[in-house]
Chains A and B, each alone.
Chain A
Amino acid sequence: MNRRSMPRTRRLALWLAVLALFALHQDVWFWHTARPLLFGFLPVGLTYHALFAIAAAVLMGVLVRFAWPESLEAEVDGRTAETPPAEDAR
């Protein structure tokens, strides 16, 4: 996706998603509590941040899908951003 060709609302939504996740890292609400314990031993603060890492992976998937800097690769390959690459790298 060419950055300039991305709709403004989509760009705004992606920025908000990144900022929201960044804000969610600062989880003051679980600061002083250990319970509930997931599986009987994993404290809630640690569980939350483990889930945070999974959420980060999901967000990265969304960004790769909708904010991939296709035009960079296209320019290096000497083609336009709208032309698909000759061979999809796996």
Chain B
Amino acid sequence: MIPSLIVLGYLATVVYIGVFAFRHRGGHEGAEDYFLAGRTIGPFVFLMSLFGTNMTAFAILGSSGHAFNNGIVTFGLMASSSALVIPLSLLFIGTRLWALGKKHGFMTPVQLFRDRWECGHIGTAIFAVQATLLVPYIVIGVMGGGTTLQTISGGLVPYWLGGAVVALVVMSYVFFGGMRGTAWVNTFQTILFLGFGAVAVAVIAGGMGGFGAAAEALLGAPATASLFTRERVSPWYFFSYTFIPLSSIAFPHIAIFCLTARKMAQFKRTVILYPLCILALWLPCVFLGVMANRATDIKEVREKQEARRTLAAQGATLEAAAREELRERMRGDDVLVLLLNRYAPLWLAGLLGAGIMAAVMASDSQILALSTMFTEDVFAHYGGKERFGEAVQVHTGRLFVIVLTVLAYLVALRAPATIFELAIQYAFSGYAALSPLLVAALFWRRSTKWGALAVTLWTAAAMVAVAAFQYAVPAPPPGRLALVWSAGGLDLLARTPAGTAVLGLAPVVPMVLVSAVLMVAVSLATRAPGEATLRRYHSLH
């Protein structure tokens, strides 16, 4: 009961911040003010909010769950590669986006593409692919909120009510506060979940009687020793994951957020501190995820380990459906909550639960980004702003926020979570494959709209192909590959326990490389935009 009350108090605070941001606006109703906070975000809020926007529920719950079953490799796969690639993309792409946005007044990446490549409908095609890849995040955010609230309250708050409360809270502060409210809430949430890591480590270490003995015990047991190394993942597959953070700057909510800075100098501190923020959040979560294997006094942890052992020992002889059921049972997304429930005092478990909720509720930026994209790339582009005015455009954006949140909630009530989790898994690859669009638009004079269309269509086709492949070929048991296509002694295409391998690499690698090749080849084969347009975009050095 106490943890639930603390989390509800946190949700009330979040709504208050959003409404406070609404009042702070002081009567401005312009689209730039609502969707981009008038391009006036200050340095501290810019860093905290950008980091918080990039960290979804996966950063806390998913990372610890992945580490629970796969070990310390999780940090190298997803955190340290991001610590290098994301700040680099902010430094070289984010700053240029900011400058061009300020100079030409665009508010979404599609506006930049349309203007830069002198196109209309191709921009709409890019919008459609970007929006399709973003929607599952919003649904999974509502689902995560419902599940977390249900777990923290010990079942007192049912899933449907938890999801409704989270959806209503997010909708309220996005509706009222727009970008300013969302940025302030994200800042508050980031402070909360950055603090979460250190406190959780201290409390759980105390509860477990120190980590030294627990680590030695895990290393001494054959079933868990490998969790302290990276031998469960091949070096090539590990390398593939360095392509995933390319998706960050290509995500519309991140690209749009780059436009909100008051000054370009605000990127400086963000670029430098970003890797340290990643370290502060991911290191405790990954380490605690591994250490959860020692918490065998928790019934649920024992059940997960039992399912993992059964899958490893009997997986080859089981039906695909039975393997899938075991995979579902061994999932570790809730191990952190279980550790807190076991080792933290009630009031602290509530506070830490609020920290988890903060990460789960990252869908606010995606809702706002989709609303911005819809009103700018569709409503305004097709004449709505000219015909009805800017005030109606903002009202449309707000209405879109309501419709989108309600739809996401209804879908979250009916659809199985695994579908959306899979969609999110491949959304990263999809956005990484779209990243050549930004690079070409910003840095390559010779790039054309046809090159952009080729990249967009390829990305959509590759995503559908990977999803269909994984649907058609069941996942093999752990440690094995289901080889589908080989030639000349090379394993060209295989189904792995966690996904797909192309030449031993994750699909993101060929997706990005083919995108880049298509952009170059198709652009060179077609006519470049006019000289006047090129001068507007490439006079900046």
Is B80 in contact with A25, judged by CB distance below 8 angstroms? yes
Greatest chain A CB density within 10 A among B96, B102, B266 is at: B102
Q: Which residues of A contact B242 (CB under 8 A)?
A: 22, 25
Q: Tell me the chain A residues, 35-66 only, with Cβ under 8 Å from chain B.
A: 37, 39-43, 45-46, 49-50, 52-54, 56-57, 59-61, 63-64
Please tell me if the beta carbons of A73 and B263 are within 8 angstroms of each other in the complex. yes
**A76's contact among B103, B215, B283, B541, by CB below 8 Å, is which?**
B103
Given A27, A43, A57, A72, which contacts B96 in the complex, CB threshold below 8 Å?
A72
The answer to whether residues A88 and B265 also contact, given A63-B91, A76-B102 and a CB cut-off of 8 A, is yes
Q: Complex Cα distance A76/B98, Å?
A: 10
A12 CB to nearest chain B CB (Å): 16
Q: Which of B187-195, B272-280, B303-311 contacts A (4 or more CB under 8 A)?
A: B272-280
CA distance in complex: A64, B73 (Å): 30
- Cα A43 to Cα B219 in complex, Å, equals 10
Contact indicator A45/B228 (Cβ below 8 Å):
yes
Inter-chain contacts of A69 with B (CB < 8 A): 92, 95-96, 99, 264, 541
Instruction: Let me know if B76 and A90 touch, CB within 8 A.
Output: no
B196-240 vs A: 1/0 string, CB under 8 Å?
000000000000001110110001000001001111000100110
Please state if B212 and A54 are interface contacts (CB–CB under 8 Å). Answer: no
CA distance A90 to B279 in the complex (A): 24
Closest residue of chain A to B236 (Cβ to Cβ) is A26
Main secondary structure of the interface of B (DSSP, over half): helix
A16 close to chain B: CB less than 8 A: no
Of all chain B residues, which has the CB nearest A5? B541
**Contact-residue size bin, chain A (C-beta under 8 Å from the other chain):** 35 or more
Give complex CA distance A26, B73 in Å: 12
* Assembly CA distance A73 to B242 (angstroms): 30
Interface string of A77-89 (1 = CB under 8 A from B): 0000000010011
User: What residues of B have a CB within 8 angstroms of the CB of A31 in the complex?
Assistant: 229-231, 235
Whether the Cβ atoms of A37 and B215 lie closer than 8 Å is yes
Residues of A contacting B231 in the complex (Cβ-Cβ under 8 angstroms) = 31-32
Distance in Å: Cβ of A79 to nearest Cβ of chain B: 13
User: Which of A18, A21, A30, A40 has the largest number of chain B CB atoms within 10 A?
Assistant: A40
B71 vs chain A, min Cβ distance (A) = 9
B99 touches A76 (CB 8 A): yes
User: B400 → chain A, closest Cβ, in Å?
Assistant: 30
Q: Is the CB of A26 within 8 A of B239?
A: yes
Q: Does B166 sit at the interface, judged by CB under 8 A?
A: no
Taking CB atoms, residues of chain A closer than 8 Å to B43 are: 89-90
Whether A41 pairs with B72 at a CB distance below 8 angstroms is no
Complex: how many Å from CA A22 to CA B84? 8
Residues of chain B within 8 A of A67, CB atoms compared: 91
A49 to B72, CA, bound (A): 10
Looking at B88, B95, B103, the one whose CB has the most chain A CB atoms below 10 A away is: B88
Cβ contacts under 8 Å, B95 to chain A = 69, 72-73
Closest chain A CB from B238 CB (angstroms) = 7
Contact at B80–A45, with CB atoms within 8 Å? no
Residues from chain B with a CB closer than 8 A to the CB of A34 are 219, 225, 228-229
CB proximity to A under 8 Å, residues B102-148: 102-103
Given A57-B275, A72-B540, A76-B99, the answer on whether A41 and B212 have CB atoms closer than 8 Å is: yes
| B84 close to A21 (CB less than 8 A) | yes
Q: Is the CB of A50 within 8 A of B279?
A: yes
If the complex has contacts A25-B242, A49-B80, are A76 and B214 also in contact, measured as CB distance less than 8 A? no
Q: Are B99 and A32 in contact (CB under 8 A)?
A: no
Q: How far is the CA of A85 from the CA of B263 in the complex (A)?
A: 11
Q: Which of A28, A46, A68 contacts B283 (CB 8 A)?
A: A46
Q: Return chain A residues, CB-CB under 8 Å to B283.
A: 46, 50
Chain A residue nearest to B72 in the complex (CB): A46
A-contact 0/1 string along B47-86, CB 8 Å cutoff: 0000000000000000000000000110110011101100
**Which one of A18, A33, A40 contacts B215 once the chains associate, using CB atoms below 8 Å?**
A40
User: Bound state CA distance, A32 and B231, in angstroms?
Assistant: 6
A1 to chain B, nearest CB (A): 11
Of B87, B230, B265, which is within 8 A of A56 by CB? B87
Per-residue A-contact encoding for B239-278, CB less than 8 Å = 1, 0 else: 1001000000000000000000011111010011111101
Does residue B369 face the partner (Cβ distance < 8 Å to A)?
no
Whether the pair B271, A64 counts as a contact (CB closer than 8 A) is yes
- Cβ of A21: which chain B residues have Cβ within 8 Å of it? 84
CB-based contact B235/A72 at 8 Å: no
B195 to chain A, nearest CB (A): 18
Measured between beta carbons, the chain B residues less than 8 angstroms from A46 are 72, 75, 283, 286-287
Task: List the A side residues contacting B273 at CB < 8 Å.
Answer: 57
B539 within 8 A of A: yes
Alpha-carbon distance A61/B269, docked complex (angstroms): 9
Residues of B within 8 A of A52 (CB): 80, 83-84
The answer to whether A60 touches B271, judged by C-beta atoms less than 8 angstroms apart, is yes
A26 B268 Cβ-Cβ under 8 A: no
**A8 contacts partner chain B, Cβ-Cβ < 8 Å:** no
By beta carbon, the residue of chain A nearest B262 is: A89
Which of A4, A45, A57 is the one whose CB lies under 8 Å from B230?
A45
Pair B229/A60 contact, Cβ less than 8 Å = no
Q: List 14 A-B contacts (CB under 8 A).
A: A25-B80, A25-B84, A45-B73, A53-B79, A54-B279, A56-B84, A61-B272, A64-B91, A64-B268, A69-B92, A71-B540, A71-B541, A72-B541, A73-B99
User: A45-B228, A69-B96 are known contacts; what are 17 more A-B pairs with Cβ within 8 Å?
Assistant: A4-B541, A32-B231, A41-B214, A46-B75, A49-B76, A52-B84, A56-B87, A60-B88, A60-B275, A64-B268, A64-B272, A67-B91, A72-B96, A73-B263, A75-B539, A76-B102, A85-B265
The 4 A-B pairs of least Cβ separation, nearest first, read A34-B228, A89-B265, A41-B211, A40-B212
